[in-house]
Amino acid sequence: MRNTMTALSRTAIVAVAGTIGLVLSGGASSAAVDATNTIVDHQGRRVQAISADTKIDFVPPLDGNPLTREWFHSGKACFKVDVPAGDPWTGHITLGYQVGYPATLSGKLEFQYQTPGLELEIGSDPKADVFNLIPTLGVTLDVGFGPGIQSVDAAGGDVSGTEGCITMSGLHATVSGVLGTTTIRPFVRLVSSTGDTVVAYGPLASI
């Protein structure tokens, strides 16, 4: 049995309800922060990844399959960078999940989620920008029979400026093929253009 996991193929996904907005200035300051993590890059800049306002609600699976786990996720994936005035900073922010499970039936997991609605709001920072957001994803993974932990990216985009948030409301996600209690842990990963990386992990939710 293998605990290592490799993506095999991307598959079509079903349409689901949900919206995802981008708030690019001051979003984290008014949010309920779940977790933060900070690094100082090689140029001495303080780079912070922030998970905030996280809410994961598990619901009975619509397909009625006892091997399916279904949930709705709302929250914020934020970044904050302390840089001197006029000093540019660019990077990539990703919101995703770690999914822990005791076993699988077939050795494969199938993830499905979609964010069909996108709204863009530019904040007061004229340098702030987010683009190339991932709107949909379906992926089948060869994971072995477990136990295991799988990381899957849900949404992300290139960012610049000093702070901002990806704000998600009602993202609908499912994972199929799991046996036993399944635990979801959201994360925010921030990678600067020079490769410096920081990850903040949100609160656990289990079913």
User: Which residue do the tokens 């309800």 mark?
Assistant: 17
pLDDT of residue 191: 93
What is the share, in percent, of the chain residues with pLDDT greater than 70?
Answer: 71
pTM: 0.74
State residue 1's pLDDT score.
36
Structure confidence by residue, pLDDT tens digits, 111-135: 776 654 433 333 334 344 444 444 4
- pLDDT for 113 equals 63
- For the ranges 24-28, 48-52, 121-125, 159-163, the lowest mean pLDDT is seen at 121-125
Burial letters 126-158, b for 16+ CB under 10 A, else e: eebbbeebbebbbbbbbbbbbebebebebbbbe
Q: Write out the two tokens for 126.
A: 């004229």
Mean pLDDT, the chain, rounded, equals: 73
